Structure 1
């Protein structure tokens, strides 16, 4: 480790030789190069969507030409919205940097504290700085989020939330985020301040521990603040899931259904938990005909919530839901989650080492207008968001490639347990229910899709199924 740190320190020493202005525009240019690459990929995908095609052979039994056209138009609108939103964010971020918003905001944070008699409290000033930034980010994002849900998604029949639900949801998300962020940031800054030369080890251990803690706390205490969860009712599906879990020795503790239909018509399934306390969560939109309000005489206590529309033509049959869960069990059996967690912790350690080598270099702060002071929070922002952006892009691509490989392996796990045919049918139905356009640009898909396309998955399942 000492050799690695020494090598990296020599490598980063060139930063001290670069003029602050040159360094600033160099980092800004780097972010724009990455952004333009993303826009190029999105352009390729948009051009792919513009071409009208016929229904692929694999989907002719579930999709009509009219449905294919609807999914194509939905895909076009989504990527066009994403492009406009990202361009706006990039231009806004660049303008704010050019006018010196970071040093102004830091100074404003100090001025706010001075009115309350606080002076030279970097940690408290950093928290005020973070709260202001997060508040601005939330408020600035509301129009975009509103348009996405109440115009784009509602136009295509996916948005199920009311406006009051949306407002309450936004406020709750912001409050929960602040509640989690403020103490974590405060302790992290304190660890960096008092941790000595090897503070990065303590900082890494702290953030890793917090990540695990939130992974445990969130589904049990935070997620229920936003969505309604109930145990899966007794019946054929529940029995089949328990039998499958017992067969492969999956440590199943509970099975929940989340009322995703109060928010969106999209569907999903996942499991969470550590050791012998695994819990499965199914979206009610995944299960054909399932209604979390069944046998209820009244609506939810929330007057603004909607009773989900019971659309019997959507969702999966019990054997198809079981096949989807068998795929998820495959991730557990093949230790994919453990591998991903290990990679994330190794990556976290690496970036903390890099941060330790860079955050005291005055040139970085000078480049962003901090000539008199070098706040740790600013160092974190500059290094994580700008200096490490090329590294993050490469890592993201590698993880995407790995994720696609894991998805094929999980599909194969379901196939070996004789769930290949219902899994194929479930993939087709999910493709239809989520109005996913089956054709994608090759390069865009390879760079962005953490899951293979449905056509790739069906192709991988088909020959093995015939053996």
Structure 2
């Protein structure tokens, strides 16, 4: 029998529970209403709008509309499942149950019962493992049914599972020291621990922004320098025109996963690099294919070449480089750090507030990392919705179907 962990509604923790759960469902219903309106547009707008006539071919429009509708239908079912699941976790005391199991597993590995850091690391690892297994059927269906139906998926089942496993291992190797550092700072940092927490997080973010492209991303994808030619020359001319400090041009093996295209830049100060997906380029053989299979890969089932020509690639890069020219990246970093400081400041005021922990079933102890999750994910939920609903939220990249 499952025992419910709903607090007494007459207490502070009961009121907090109702507020958190109520806002979660209100947000979900609002977002589903917006998604419903978008699905209706996908279904009803069979003819291309006047603005696209003469710009987008009818077959391209039809494919984009069908793909958008299938994605929306999939998100409808997955979103409902996730909302019910998250509600069940709160109602049934999933967080304290996982915390208890993590403590027992940490003790089994030889750690003391009161060792919070090993228990927290185990908690994060177990949570990630459970989440991976729960989301696996959804990601599998989306990849091999929705994406496959529209010609985007290029993965084999073996590669798909291997990639998932590799990502899980790497993410745990990264999260373990970071989580340990967070808990240690909270416990020994004193009254102003939130300042040290903010500084530590800023250093970690900058560190991984620096090392990720050169040391972590190549674990998953193959990067090669863009060959000499007209495209490389035109990109270098474009970069010079706006004084973009370009040092290297790469092509990444995106075709082994998907037919979607992407382009981005990275690097600090005067050391900028541009990365193009091989699927973006019309006259480029995917890195995971050889010349004999070039035509079959770079043409769709109607015999039309896929990818972008030189002028189209430059247009895509012009958009991305516009972010740099207008200092969007720097502004985003500053805004995200200010938001992080705000979150940590509030957490510094609330992390000893017992009703907040009892709301989620923690009556005997108040784990530091649990408190941080509660503040970031639930207390700040209304605040976090502001950039999403106003369209001010940031995007880390742009995908081109």
TM-score (norm 1): 0.78
* Match of residue 262 from structure 2: 268
Task: Provide the C-alpha distance between the structure 2 equivalents of 1:285 and 1:297, rounded to a whole number of angstroms.
Answer: 15
* Match of residue 143 from structure 2: 149
Corresponding residue to 1:167 among 161, 164, 167: 161
Q: Does 1:55 align with 2:43?
A: no
Deviations 1:214-265 (A, max 9, x none): 1111111111111111100000011111122223221111000111111111
Query: How well do the aligned residues superpose, as a CA RMSD in angstroms?
Result: 2.4
Task: Provide the C-alpha distance between the structure 2 equivalents of 1:105 and 1:341, rounded to a whole number of angstroms.
Answer: 33
Q: Does 1:310 align with 2:302?
A: no
Task: Provide the C-alpha distance between the structure 1 equivalents of 2:323 and 2:63, rounded to a whole number of angstroms.
Answer: 33
* Match of residue 376 from structure 1: 368
* Match of residue 5 from structure 1: none
Task: Provide the C-alpha distance between the structure 2 equivalents of 1:320 and 1:330, rounded to a whole number of angstroms.
Answer: 15
Q: Following TM superposition, by how much is the alpha carbon of 1:69 offset from its aligned partner in structure 2, in angstroms? A: 3.1
Rate the CA distance shift 1:374–1:289 in 2: closer, same or farther, 3 A.
same
Task: Provide the C-alpha distance between the structure 1 equivalents of 2:86 and 2:283, rounded to a whole number of angstroms.
Answer: 46
Kept in 2, the 8 Å contact 1:262–1:308? The answer is no
Kept in 2, the 8 Å contact 1:77–1:152? The answer is yes
Corresponding residue to 1:83 among 76, 81, 103: 76
SS in 2 for 1:184: helix
Deviations 1:58-101 (A, max 9, x none): 43335444443332222111011111111101101111221112
Rate the CA distance shift 1:64–1:297 in 2: closer, same or farther, 3 A.
closer
SS in 1 for 2:298: coil
Corresponding residue to 1:45 among 38, 41, 44: 38
Rate the CA distance shift 1:184–1:56 in 2: closer, same or farther, 3 A.
same
Kept in 1, the 8 Å contact 2:194–2:344? The answer is yes
* Match of residue 112 from structure 1: 105
Task: Provide the C-alpha distance between the structure 2 equivalents of 1:134 and 1:402, rounded to a whole number of angstroms.
Answer: 25
Task: Provide the C-alpha distance between the structure 2 equivalents of 1:183 and 1:130, rounded to a whole number of angstroms.
Answer: 11
Rate the CA distance shift 1:63–1:364 in 2: closer, same or farther, 3 A.
same
Q: Structure 1: which 5+ residue stretches go unaligned?
A: 1-16, 300-305, 408-426, 435-467
Task: Provide the C-alpha distance between the structure 2 equivalents of 1:161 and 1:225, rounded to a whole number of angstroms.
Answer: 17
Q: Does 1:95 align with 2:94?
A: no
Q: Following TM superposition, by how much is the alpha carbon of 1:182 offset from its aligned partner in structure 2, in angstroms? A: 0.7
Rate the CA distance shift 1:402–1:161 in 2: closer, same or farther, 3 A.
closer
Kept in 2, the 8 Å contact 1:291–1:308? The answer is no
Corresponding residue to 1:20 among 13, 17, 20: 13
Rate the CA distance shift 1:320–1:66 in 2: closer, same or farther, 3 A.
closer
TM-score (norm 2): 0.90
Task: Provide the C-alpha distance between the structure 2 equivalents of 1:309 and 1:351, rounded to a whole number of angstroms.
Answer: 47
Alignment size in residue pairs: 386
Deviations 1:172-202 (A, max 9, x none): 1101110111100000110111111111111
Q: Does 1:203 align with 2:203?
A: no
Corresponding residue to 1:190 among 184, 190, 205: 184
Q: Does 1:136 align with 2:124?
A: no
Q: Following TM superposition, by how much is the alpha carbon of 1:310 offset from its aligned partner in structure 2, in angstroms? A: 1.9
SS in 1 for 2:259: coil
* Match of residue 4 from structure 2: none
Q: Following TM superposition, by how much is the alpha carbon of 1:36 offset from its aligned partner in structure 2, in angstroms? A: 1.2
* Match of residue 336 from structure 2: 344
Kept in 1, the 8 Å contact 2:155–2:257? The answer is yes
SS in 2 for 1:268: strand
* Match of residue 450 from structure 1: none
SS in 2 for 1:61: coil
